[in-house]
Structures are given as C-alpha cells and as structure tokens.
C-alpha cells in the first residue's frame, strides 16, 4: 500500500494549483462567467501549454498520463479553483473517446489546445438512463443519415466536432445497437440552441435533421458503440468525483477562514462551539469523499463490474457529502455566501450541479445495489 502521489503527479498538482491560484482569481472567474463564450480561450491555451490536457491521455494516445490518478489529480485542482473551461468535455469525454476509437489526428489537436469537442449523448427524455438512445442512424447508399434530438450538450457551441450517439438497431433502451458518429459542427441539418448553465459554462439543445455523413464518420463498428461510451463515461465519473472533491475542499477552507474573521457578539463566530462541531463534521465527511475518489480512481482499470461498483459508490457518497458541504458552508457564512460575486457561491453551485451529470445520488445508489446483487 502506498497512498502518496508519484513524483510526476505531485509536480503536476503543484504546477496546476500554482497556475490556477495566480491566474484563476475570483475576479478573473467572474469575468469569464459573464463572458459570451462562457470560458476563456487564453486560459484554455495555457492549460494545454502546461500539459494539463496531455496528462489526461495515455502515452500511446499522445499523452503522458491518462490513468485514474492522473485524471483525479487534474480535476481535483480544477474543482478547487472552480474552473469552468471544458476540460471534461473536450479532453475526457471527447478526446478519450476519439483516442479509444483510434482517431489520433483530432486527439493531437485536442492535446495541443487547438480543438474542442462535445459528447452529444443524453436526450430530452433519457434522464440518467445511459442506454436510452432514440436518435436514429440509417444507411443510405454509401452514406449515413442521422436524425434526432440531444439534450444539454455541454460545450456544443465551441466544439468543432460533436460525437453523437445514435441507434442503428434494437429497442430504445438497449445497450446493443448504439453507434457513435463524429459529426462536424458545420454540417447541414445540425442546429444548436445554446444557453448558459447555472454553474458556469455553456450547453445547447441539439437538433439533427437528416444529417448526411460519410460511412467513415462512424466510430467503431455499427451498433457496438456502448463499450466505447461506457468506458469513456467511467473516466468522466472519476473526473466529476475528483472535481467535486476539490470544490468541497475550497468550500471548507473558505468557511474556516470566514469563521475566523467574521465578528458577531464581540468575537469571531468560529469561537462558537455549535459552529465548530459542524465544521468538524464537514472535515470528517470530506475525508470520506477523498477516500471515495481514491477507490474509484484506483479501480478504473479493473474488470467492468468492480470498476462500476466503485464508481457508483463514489458518486453516491460524493453526492451526499457534496450537498452537506455546499449547504453548510453557505449557512455558516450567512448572507455573504448568497451573493453572486462571492467565491463560495460559485463553488457551491459547482458542487451541487455535479449531481446532475451522468446520474445523481439516488441513481448511483440504485446502480450500486444492482451491481452488488449481481
């Protein structure tokens, strides 16, 4: 057993933490949150230059990391600073899926910070049911025709390509029969309706109306996209859990700092035992969350069932702890934490809204029960 980070990962963590502390200040983040694009191209370029994007890919994919602990280290720091740049979407969901499908040309561009991607998978009625795909893919001569609607596609507007899941065979909720296609953003029949998200960044509702694509747009074999998709979403689960952990660390730190400075009744409110005990509870739960991220990251390369069981456990636990930490941090701050420009408001939103991506606390509890019974 060894719970220390390797020297390389320690360096990555230090470099990224220092960079974000210096550059991703509250003022800078508020400026980014209020911008039309919803993220900073300049910050994005620097993340690429620092090797943060490359650390999310394995060597054969052109990166220098890519394991569960690399992803966890990067996303914990992104979460700590409340970063809204689409690292999850362009690099993990888009980049890692393309890399696994062997499209190395685009992956190189992603690692270099030159290309953005989006995974268009969820649909208006699919909720967290990952095999529910009604968007249709049909062959027409040598071409493919794609039609359907995709919901809350994060980073769709910035993406040069969208990876779209579509059904080629089987029933609406079958894992078999799902194909993945690479769709250029400027193709005829693709329309986006973009909007900002509550916790920063942007997403879009995507309509695909008889989009014609060459057969080469299909990633992997026809109807066999699920394995690729679920392996990639497993990486995203680890990333989301780590990001929430980093954000929770920030929330707790801000709260401790505030309790030490805010004076009421002639003394710092942190001297009241009623509040001290609540901080202690948050710290206890925070360590539980840290362990959950570690066991999820550590089982990422295990067999699918072991991997998924640990992921479900981690995301359930972090969903619970996340809500506690977000709500208690706001409550112990009082009114100041309710204001848009105060750092904690954004951090708390990042924590809570994590629970709406690829399954919430209840969904992962059900999944854990099912995987444990099997």
Partner 1 sequence: MDLSYSPEEQAFRAEVRDFLETRLPKEMAAKVRQGHDHLSKADMEAWHAILNEKGWLAQNWPREFGGAEWNAVQRHIFEEEAARANAPRIVPFGLSMLAPVLMKFGSKEQQDHYLPRILDGTDWWCQGYSEPGAGSDLASLKTKAERHGDHYIVNGQKTWTTLGQYANWIFCLVRTDPTAKQQEGISFLLIDMDTPGIEVRPIILLDGTHEVNEVWFTDVKVPVANLVGEENKGWTYAKYLLTHERTNIAGVGFSQAGLEQVKRIARAERANGRPLIENPHFAARMAQVEIDLMALATSNLRIVSKAAAGGAPGIEASMLKVKGTVIRQEINDLARRAVGPYAMPFPSEAVEGDNDPIGPDYAGPLAAQYFNYRKLSIFGGSNEVQRNIIAQTLMGGRR
- 69 or 358, CB closer to partner 1? 358
Contact region for partner 1 (CB under 8 A) — 53-61, 70-78, 196-204, 215-223?
A: 196-204
**Shortest distance, CB of residue 226 to partner 1, whole angstroms?**
17
Instruction: Give the integer Cα–Cα distance in Å for 318 and 321.
Output: 5
* Contacts for 262 with CB less than 8 Å, ≥ 6 apart: 268, 269, 270, 333, 334
- DSSP helix/strand/coil, 22: helix
Report the residue from 175, 227, 279, 353 that binds partner 1 according to the rule CB under 8 A: 353
- 137 or 203, CB closer to partner 1? 203
What b-and-e string marks burial along 302-328, b requiring 16 or more CB atoms within 10 Å of the CB? eeeeebbbbbbbbbbbbbbbbebbbeb
* Residue 167 sits in the site that holds partner 1 (CB under 8 A): no
Site string for partner 1, 213-252 (x = CB under 8 A): ----------------------------------------
Angstrom distances, CA of residue 238 to CA of 11, 105, 282, 310, 318: 20, 26, 21, 10, 11
Residue whose token pair is 């066999």: 224
* Residue 203 sits in the site that holds partner 1 (CB under 8 A): yes
* Residue 199 sits in the site that holds partner 1 (CB under 8 A): yes
Instruction: Give the integer Cα–Cα distance in Å for 300 and 96.
Output: 14
Report the residue from 263, 273, 373, 374 that binds partner 1 according to the rule CB under 8 A: 263
* Residue 256 sits in the site that holds partner 1 (CB under 8 A): no
Instruction: Give the integer Cα–Cα distance in Å for 219 and 166.
Output: 11
Instruction: Give the integer Cα–Cα distance in Å for 311 and 324.
Output: 20
**Shortest distance, CB of residue 3 to partner 1, whole angstroms?**
33
User: What are the φ and ψ backbone dihedral angles of 282, each rounded to 5 degrees?
Assistant: -65, -40
Report the residue from 10, 59, 124, 139 that binds partner 1 according to the rule CB under 8 A: 124
Among candidate residues 173, 170, 162, 163, the one with its CA nearest the CA of residue 125: 173
* Residue 316 sits in the site that holds partner 1 (CB under 8 A): no
Contact region for partner 1 (CB under 8 A) — 51-59, 64-72, 124-132, 181-189?
A: 124-132
Report the residue from 189, 196, 220, 270 that binds partner 1 according to the rule CB under 8 A: 196
Tell me the two tokens of residue 193.
């309706």
- 246 or 319, CB closer to partner 1? 319
Contact region for partner 1 (CB under 8 A) — 52-60, 89-97, 286-294, 324-332?
A: 324-332
Instruction: Give the integer Cα–Cα distance in Å for 54 and 46.
Output: 12
* CB distance 18 to 60 below 8 Å: no
* Residue 125 sits in the site that holds partner 1 (CB under 8 A): yes
Contact region for partner 1 (CB under 8 A) — 46-54, 208-216, 300-308, 332-340?
A: 332-340
- Please give the residue ranges that form the binding site for partner 1 (CB under 8 A): 122, 124-125, 127-129, 151-152, 154, 173, 193, 195-199, 203, 205, 263-266, 274-275, 323, 327, 330-331, 334-335, 337-341, 345-346, 348-349, 352-353, 355-357, 360, 362-363, 365-366
């Amino acid at each position: 057993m060894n719970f220390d980070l390797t020297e390389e990962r320690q360096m990555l963590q230090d470099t990224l933490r220092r960079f974000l502390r210096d550059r991703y200040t509250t003022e800078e983040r508020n400026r980014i949150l209020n911008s039309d694009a919803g993220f900073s191209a300049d910050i994005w370029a620097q993340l690429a230059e620092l090797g943060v994007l490359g650390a999310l890919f394995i060597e054969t994919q052109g990166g220098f990391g890519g394991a569960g602990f690399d992803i966890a280290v990067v996303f914990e720091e992104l979460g700590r600073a409340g970063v809204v740049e689409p690292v999850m979407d362009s690099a993990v969901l888009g980049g890692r899926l393309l890399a696994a499908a062997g499209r190395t040309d685009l992956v190189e561009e992603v690692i270099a910070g030159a290309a953005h991607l989006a995974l268009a998978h969820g649909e208006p009625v699919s909720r967290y049911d990952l095999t529910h795909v009604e968007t249709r893919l049909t062959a027409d001569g040598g071409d493919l025709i794609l039609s359907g609607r995709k919901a809350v596609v994060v980073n769709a507007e910035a993406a040069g390509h969208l990876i779209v899941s579509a059904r080629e065979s089987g029933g609406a909720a079958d894992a078999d029969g799902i194909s993945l296609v690479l769709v250029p953003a400027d193709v005829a029949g693709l329309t986006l309706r973009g909007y900002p998200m509550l916790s920063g960044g942007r997403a879009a509702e995507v309509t695909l109306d008889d989009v014609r694509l060459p057969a080469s747009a299909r990633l992997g074999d026809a109807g066999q996209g699920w394995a690729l998709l679920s392996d990639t979403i497993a990486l995203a689960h680890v990333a989301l859990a780590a990001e929430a952990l980093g954000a929770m660390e920030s929330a707790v730190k801000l709260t401790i700092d505030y309790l030490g400075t805010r004076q009421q009744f002639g003394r710092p409110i942190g001297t009241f035992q009623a509040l001290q005990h609540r901080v202690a509870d948050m710290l206890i739960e925070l360590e539980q969350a840290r362990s959950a991220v570690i066991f999820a990251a550590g089982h990422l390369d295990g067999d699918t069932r072991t991997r998924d069981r640990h992921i479900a456990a981690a995301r359930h636990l972090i969903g619970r702890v996340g809500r506690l930490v977000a709500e208690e941090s706001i409550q112990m701050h009082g009114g100041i934490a309710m204001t848009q420009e105060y750092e904690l408001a954004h951090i708390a939103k990042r924590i809570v809204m994590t629970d709406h991506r690829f399954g919430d606390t209840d969904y992962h509890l059900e999944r854990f029960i099912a995987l444990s019974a099997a």
